[in-house]
């Protein structure tokens, strides 16, 4: 007999039960977060919200059911840490002077 996960047993959350888990600079980044969360079995949706301070400016938010908020934070933070590490590694590869002084013949 197969076990069902706790996530599968929870009823579909209503929009009112969704809370903001992340703000994104653009729709593309928000969609990446949404896909990441859904891949990890976390229901997610993207919404645009108007900012009252700046006329015409909008924030793109990623929303999840409140029951999944903590798990969604962990997933997003883990992905951001991975991307930061990857960016750091690429910066090292493009550094032309990396370790050039180790092979200096003038010593």
- pLDDT tens profile 13-33: 565 689 999 998 889 999 999
Read off φ and ψ for residue 20, nearest 5 degrees: -75, 130
- Given this model, what pLDDT does residue 81 score? 75
What are the strands of the beta sheet with 45-50, ordered from one edge?
18-24, 58-65, 45-50
Separation between Cα atoms, residue 82 and residue 90, nearest integer Å = 12
Q: Is the pLDDT of residue 36 over 60?
A: yes
pTM of the predicted model, to two decimals? 0.61
Distances (CA, A) of 104 to 51, 59, 61, 94, 107: 56, 52, 52, 20, 7
Separation between Cα atoms, residue 8 and residue 71, nearest integer Å = 15
- Three-class DSSP category at 31: helix
Classified by CATH at the fold level, domain 13-93 comes out as: Alpha-Beta Plaits (3.30.70)
pLDDT digits (tens, 9 = 90+) for 69-102: 999 999 999 887 777 666 676 665 555 555 555 5
């Amino acid at each position: 007999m197969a076990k069902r996960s706790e996530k599968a047993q929870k009823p579909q959350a209503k929009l009112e039960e969704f809370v903001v888990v992340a703000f994104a600079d653009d729709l593309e980044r928000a969609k990446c977060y949404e896909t990441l969360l859904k891949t990890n079995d976390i229901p997610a949706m993207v919404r645009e919200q108007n900012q009252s301070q700046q006329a015409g400016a909008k924030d793109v938010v990623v929303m999840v059911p409140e029951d999944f908020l903590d798990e969604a934070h962990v997933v997003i933070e883990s992905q951001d840490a991975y991307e930061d590490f990857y960016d750091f590694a690429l910066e090292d590869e493009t550094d032309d002077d990396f370790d050039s002084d180790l092979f200096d013949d003038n010593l």
